[in-house]
Amino acid sequence: MKVVVCVGGNKTVCAARLGVKLAEELAAKSNEVCILAPKGKGNVFTDVPLHEYTNLTPTKKLAGMFTKEHADMLISVMNLRACEAAVLAKIPFIYVEYENFKEDKPVKAKKALLQKAARVLVLGNSDKPLSKTKYGANAQRVTEPAVWVEHYNYNKPVCFKKENNILAVGPLTKESGFDTLLQTWARLAPAHKTWHLTIAGDGTQKAALQKFIVKNNLQESTEIVPSQSDIYSLLRNADIFAYPAVNPARADILLDAMASKLPCVACESDAVTSLITNGVNGVIVNAGEEEPFTIALDDLMVNWGKRVEMAVEASKHKDRYPFAALMQAVLGALI
């Protein structure tokens, strides 16, 4: 079967890791698969063919792309334009989104569009009945999946200059808390010469963050890399994951990091406390405060045994949030 996986998202949630994982799993099952993504959204390295389009690409032209690819099925991960294009191209589609996901721009005809889907897969862990009125008669809830990688420390990405690595991922905005993280790092870096901090992301705060790095002489121990970087390799080769975001709507990258066997330091929020048991599989500190984050990060950097214990507990999320459940639901809809 020829399958096109189209990824999307909104300003806080990128569907790239989830969509690429789906595409790779489908390809492993002898399907012919390609990925279609808005420019800059397909930011995970993969061997699956990837095609990008701009936000100005008309829906009719997207439909033409599906026809050109001779697609038998579209799987749209949080990309409603792709669903509209599938309707125009007259190919069946499966739509996947996180429960309570909100588009950057409301789609007026969303309910009617989802009624045309072969299946709507809603990712969530709520015990409440799924709203058929909102998602349509073909909707089903699937346990939110973790996209995890095996953790190892060889073939380090170029940005990892030291032996020990701290990773942070997210949009470079005030809400992501990277200003607090860098203030923390300015205090810790001089005492931890073998450690390196990598921040992966893009956004309006990038220039200010880079200016802080230069002003505090952190160039040798700190690097900001684009969101299009290979996040899989960054996760594989990190030793600690820092998540200083303030009141995030979702913490999907934190879930992926924990499932990838990384001990995490994160600021308190509903999304964070749903994943981390403080002191067991990670550390939770007060949001937006530099001192608690500094103390927690320093403690993990010097205490290898604690890092290992938390990493082992954190990795259990790959069983609590299995990707296999999503794959089973997708394969069931493909038949």
Q: Provide the pLDDT for residue 68.
A: 87
pLDDT tens-digit map of 251-304? 889 999 999 999 999 999 999 999 999 999 999 999 878 899 999 999 999 999
How many C-alpha atoms does 277 have within 13 Å on its Cβ side?
A: 10
**Rounded Cα–Cα distance for residues 51 and 248 (Å):** 30
The pLDDT of residue 227 is above 70: yes
pLDDT tens-digit map of 10-19? 877 778 888 9
Architecture of the domain spanning 2-142: 3-Layer(aba) Sandwich (3.40)
Q: Provide the pLDDT for residue 255.
A: 93
Q: Does domain 164-319 have CATH number 3.40.50.2000?
A: yes
Phi, psi of 276 (to 5 degrees): -100, 130
Amino acid occupying residue 185 = W
**Rounded Cα–Cα distance for residues 313 and 258 (Å):** 9
Residue closest to 308 by CA, chosen among 262, 265, 276, 275: 262
Mean pLDDT rounded to a whole number for the chain? 90
Tokens standing for residue 65: 């792309």
**Rounded Cα–Cα distance for residues 141 and 122 (Å):** 5
Question: Which parts of the chain fold into alpha helices (H)?
Answer: 16-28, 59-68, 80-89, 110-114, 132-135, 178-188, 206-215, 231-237, 252-259, 270-273, 290-302, 304-315, 317-320, 323-334
pTM of the model: 0.85
Higher pLDDT, 158 or 298: 298
Exposure string over 124-155, b if 16+ CB within 10 A, otherwise e = beeeeeeeeeebbebbebbbbbbbbbeeeeee
The pLDDT of residue 162 is above 80: no
Residue intervals in the chain for CATH 3.40.50.2000: 2-142, 164-319
- Neighbouring C-beta atoms of residue 209, cutoff 10 Å: 19
The pLDDT of residue 335 is above 80: no
**What DSSP element (H or E) covers 4?**
strand 2-7
Q: Provide the pLDDT for residue 149.
A: 84
Q: Provide the pLDDT for residue 39.
A: 80
Phi, psi of 42 (to 5 degrees): -85, 60
Residue closest to 41 by CA, chosen among 66, 9, 18: 9
**Rounded Cα–Cα distance for residues 219 and 214 (Å):** 6
**Rounded Cα–Cα distance for residues 91 and 69 (Å):** 12
What does the radius of gyration of the chain's CA atoms come to, in whole angstroms?
20
From first CA to last CA, the distance across the chain in angstroms is 10
